[in-house]
Each structure stands twice: as C-alpha cells, then as structure tokens.
Amino acid sequence: MALSRVGTASSWTGKEYRQYVVIAAILAMPLAFNYLVACIIYHWTYRQSKRRGMQQVPPEYPAMIPILGSTLPFLWDSATFVKKATLYAGRVTAVRISLLVNGIYLFQDPEAVAAMWKHPSLSSPIFVYTVGLRYLFGMPEKAIESYTIDDSGPYRKPHPNSNVAPHNRVDFLTHDSLLRGLTGSAMGPTFKRYQSIVQRNLDTEGVGEEWKEMPDLFLFFRNHIGKAQLESLFGPSLLRINPGFVDDLWAYDEEVKHLAKRFPRFLIPNAYRVRDRLLAQIKNWYQYARVQFGEDAMDENGEWDPFWGSSMNRQRQAMLLNIDGQDDDSVASTDLGLIWTSITNVVPSTMMTALHIFKDEHLLSRIRGSIEDTVTHDNEAGFGVAMDKLLSKDLLQSVYAETLRLYVQSYITRCSPHEDVAVGRWWLPRNEVSMVSSYVSHMNTGVWNTQHGKHPVTSFWPERFLVDSRDDQSGPMRRDLVEAAAATTMNKTRNSKDDEPHFTLQGLSGAWIPYGGGFGACPGRLLAKRIILYTCALLVSEFDVKINTRDFEMDSSGFGLGTQKPEGQIAFAIRKRKAQ
C-alpha cells in the first residue's frame, strides 16, 4: 500500500518534471540562439581580421545571459576568466567583454599594448580615478563631478575640444603634481629620507647576532619598510598624531577587494568603518599641519617640512581645494588613494624580492657577491650604498623584474573621450573603457622565454631577464621572437662574446608592464625600484634571514588591484651578520 502510494506520487512528479524541462527548454531557446549568433560573430571577426588584416573593433566574448553578460566570472574568478577571454586560437589578443552596466575592451596582444602606451589620447587614467574615488576611496558624489567632466587630458595643453576651465583641469593638475613630486629632483630627497628612516626603524627591532624568531614576514615589512616609506613621503606628523594609521591602512587594504565589488555598507560594514577611520585621520592630519606649519619649518630647498612631509602634499592641498566642488572630505579621499597606491604595492614587492633571495642560498651568495663593490658599512655612519652602481647590477635587477612579473596583478585602464583610436590592429571606439591586465601579459607564453618549459611563466626564474651571449637560450623573450626582431630591425640584442650576462627589458614594452605604460605610467616607479633594490641590498648585507615557512600560497583575492601578497603568515628568523 505504502509502496503504491510512493509509486503514484513519483510518477506524478516525473510528469511535472518533464513539463518543467519542456518549458525550460522553450525559454532557453532564445538564449541558446542568441549565444550561437554571438559565437559566430566572435569567430568570424577574428578570422576576418586575420585573413584580411583589417583594422577593426575587437569582437564581443560570447556570454550565455544577455544584460548580465560576463559579469559573474569577471567578478568572481577574474584571473581565470580574463586569461581565457583574451586567448584566441592559442594567441593572446583583444576582446570586448559585456558587463552588467557597460562593456570593457581588454587589449592584451603585446603590439596593441605597446601601441596603447604611445597614443596621446590614451594617456589619462582619469576614468579609473572616478571609479576609484567613488567606490574605493569614498569621495562624496558632488565632488566626483569635477573628475567626470574633465575631458581636457593629462597634458599641459588641453584637448582642443575641451571647455574645462584651467583651475578645474584635475587630470592635468594631479598628474603634473605627482610627476613633479615623485620624480626628478624631488625624488632624491624623498629616497634619502627613506634610507635613514628604514635603518632607524630596523634598529628599533633590536636584532642582534643571535637568531631572533619572528612569526610574520609581511608584518615585519609593513612595520619597517611601509612605515619608512609613509614617513619619507607624508612626514612624521601623520603617523604621530594617528598612532593607529598604519594598522588601519593594512586593514583597509584587506577590504579594498570588497569595496571594488561595490557592495553596499550593510553587507561589508567593516570595510566602510575602516575607510571612515582612515579618512578621519587624514583630515585630522590636515587640521594639525595647517596650524603647525610655518615657512620656517621647511628645509633649505622648501622640499620638506615635518608637518606636511614632502612639498608635494602641501601644494596638493592648495591645488585640489581650488577645484570646483572640493573640500577636506573630497581631498582626504584623493589622498587616501595616493597613500594606498604608494604603499601597498611597494611593500609586498620588496618583501617578495627579498624572500626569493633569502630562500635560495645559492642566489643569496651570488647577490651578495655581485653587490659587494657597492655597499659599505661604517660603525658611525651605518650602512651605505652607491645607488647608481646598485641600480645597474644585472642579477639584482633581473630578480626585481621577475618578482614584479610574477606578482603584480593590476588592471591598467584608459579611455579616449574625444575620438576613436587605433590600438595596434584594433579600433577602440570613443568613450569606451579599455583595460590591460598585467597578469595576462606577464603570463603570456607567446612572449616569455621558458627555455622549452624548464622555467614556466608561473615560476620564479631569477635569470629570466639576463641575456648571455654564450647561451642562445637566454633572455626574457622567446627565441623565435628575438630572431624575428633581429631579422627585421637588425637589432643587436645579444652582448659581445666576452661580456657577462646583462639585464635587459628590450622588446618588452607591451609585455612587462608592472607599472602600466606611456605618459600615464606609475609616477612612483623610479622611487619604487630604488626602494626595492636598496632595501634588498641593506637586508642581504646586514642580516641573515632564515625562511621557516617555505611552502605557502599567494592570495589572489585582490586580483586586478595591485601586487599579490602571501596567504597566511611566513615565519622567519633574523640575525645581524657578523662583521665580514
């Protein structure tokens, strides 16, 4: 009896089930048809472009669900998705992906990326500024307007079609101030301050000639390298009057990935709370510096004072507050962006460079040997280094370049507000957003030399950027590309027979892109390279470090937002080196 009841019920369910399947199939037919058409157009466009060599707009990556497009895979598994979407017939290429609000063009073939850097209409990061300021850095909506309406470009001369008033040219004004403040004559004093502050910070750790066990390498770098960099750029007052600033900055860094997904406050209250705290501390700093600062506080060149730090910060205040709709709240958001960008890339990059050196005894001893003639140690003056010489050390530069290749996972974003532009063999339509993923470029097996798989693109190979004339399998680029370049341009990329292996980035302008590129490239890149190389030279010369946690994974959850960090803590031991 019970069995027959079950049987009746299940056959009734089966019938219902079949009806649902039929309805679902009918409903799915337009979707399947739509997808099929999208696939045909997608393949046809690539084939046409290849066969006829025609300049055209990149095709759209087929997505099953209209309107939603590729939003879900792009947001939730961005690394896998962009790698897949930008690959066609085994080659990295350009594609349009449709997202919920609008679409994005991804340009990844190295020729297109190199062309992008050269194009004056694609030199401005203003579009990504507006996104960052709104969603990451919490700028009030009324202040963002000045950023969204500025179509005058990043150059001193405004675009002829733009009517933006000179004092509202936020794109040019901010970029110009950053270039003046972070490069050229201003960089030297900032870097000098960094050198003495980092040595002072390391001294506070009390490391002696006995091994000192420590639980977390990243914390060590945050507290010494990160703090030194903050102080050398923004001055001691910001940190002194806000003792929780550094911890809050790193707590915020953990939350940025959630803010980037545009979740509302009620879903990620901690992210909004820590951001509010940081903005309040930055405004607190403004109040303090305004009261304390006087002309007599400046150094002899007017480059630095203990309240605003570098003169760039002091001058940014006047420049930003002069722009329509700006006040302390909006300027604090802009400064949060600057502080976050300047610190949170260089700290993990420095740590990963040092980590790779200390993890490998042989590499450590080669690096020590190679920089011996550049470093000095004086009991009075402490550690010293001839920076010009250090910056040209081949193996150290190769380790640095390889570290950035492996761990920098940024999206570099551009938009042309006035005209369609040619990007290599593609067109980018006016006002459309284009992005380049450094990760896809850095993992492109069509470019990078892996010595036939011996050194996969996903692995760390310290010599990848060294060219050795005695070894035709050496160098960062695949052998076939080097030969093709040499045949067409008579380019001599190899050194002469008796030269030592030398560091090169030749031919990699569209492939090695940790700092973006062109006029909009990272204005902190020269300072970053100095900080990374100097810090590694200091650590390897003055300390022994044993890496105790040797197996760890990298955290990919912040994909697209900058440099990767390790997942979990890396335990290590450190001691002062005995006098050599």
Where is the binding site, in residues? 522
CB of 373 to ligand HEM, least distance (A): 26
Its sign, for the CA torsion 368, 372, 375, 381, is positive
Stretch that binds ligand HEM, among 157-165, 251-259, 474-482, 522-530 (CB under 6 A): 522-530
The DSSP symbol for 296 reads G
Per-residue interface string for the shown chain with ligand HEM, residues 225-264, x marking contact by CB under 6 A: --------x-------------------------------
Length of the chain in terms of residues written:
580
* Binding-site annotation, residues for heme: 522
What is the Cα–Cα distance from 182 to 529, expressed in whole angstroms? 12
Per-residue interface string for the shown chain with ligand HEM, residues 90-129, x marking contact by CB under 6 A: -----------------------------------x----
Q: Does 331 contact ligand HEM by CB under 6 A?
A: no
Of 557, 580, 482, 569, which Cα lies nearest the Cα of 254? 557
Q: Does 139 contact ligand HEM by CB under 6 A?
A: no
Give the one residue of 132, 226, 520, 566 binding ligand HEM; rule: CB under 6 A: 520
Tokens of 377: 């140690």
CB of 497 to ligand HEM, least distance (A): 35
Contacts 24+ apart (CB under 8 A), 59-66: 59/95, 59/96, 60/95, 60/96, 60/97, 60/98, 60/103, 61/85, 61/95, 61/96, 61/97, 61/98, 62/35, 62/38, 63/35, 63/38, 63/97, 63/98, 64/31, 64/35, 65/31, 66/31, 66/34
Per-residue interface string for the shown chain with ligand HEM, residues 167-186, x marking contact by CB under 6 A: -------xx--x---x----
The DSSP symbol for 62 reads P
Q: Does 342 contact ligand HEM by CB under 6 A?
A: yes
Q: Does 391 contact ligand HEM by CB under 6 A?
A: no
Q: Does 346 contact ligand HEM by CB under 6 A?
A: yes
Stretch that binds ligand HEM, among 25-33, 88-96, 358-366, 510-518 (CB under 6 A): 510-518
What is the Cα–Cα distance from 281 to 246, expressed in whole angstroms? 11
Give the one residue of 144, 186, 260, 408 binding ligand HEM; rule: CB under 6 A: 408
Its sign, for the CA torsion 366, 370, 371, 373, is positive
Q: Does 441 contact ligand HEM by CB under 6 A?
A: no
The site for ligand HEM, by CB under 6 A, has a size of: 28
Stretch that binds ligand HEM, among 192-200, 460-468, 475-483, 517-525 (CB under 6 A): 517-525
Within 10 angstroms of residue 48's Cβ, the number of other Cβ atoms is 13
Question: For residues 242 and 345, which CB has a smaller minimum distance to ligand HEM in the complex?
Answer: 345
Of 147, 168, 143, which Cα lies nearest the Cα of 325? 143
Interface residue list for ligand HEM (CB under 6 A): 125, 174-175, 178, 182, 233, 338, 341-342, 345-346, 349, 404, 408, 410, 412, 514-517, 520-524, 527-528, 563
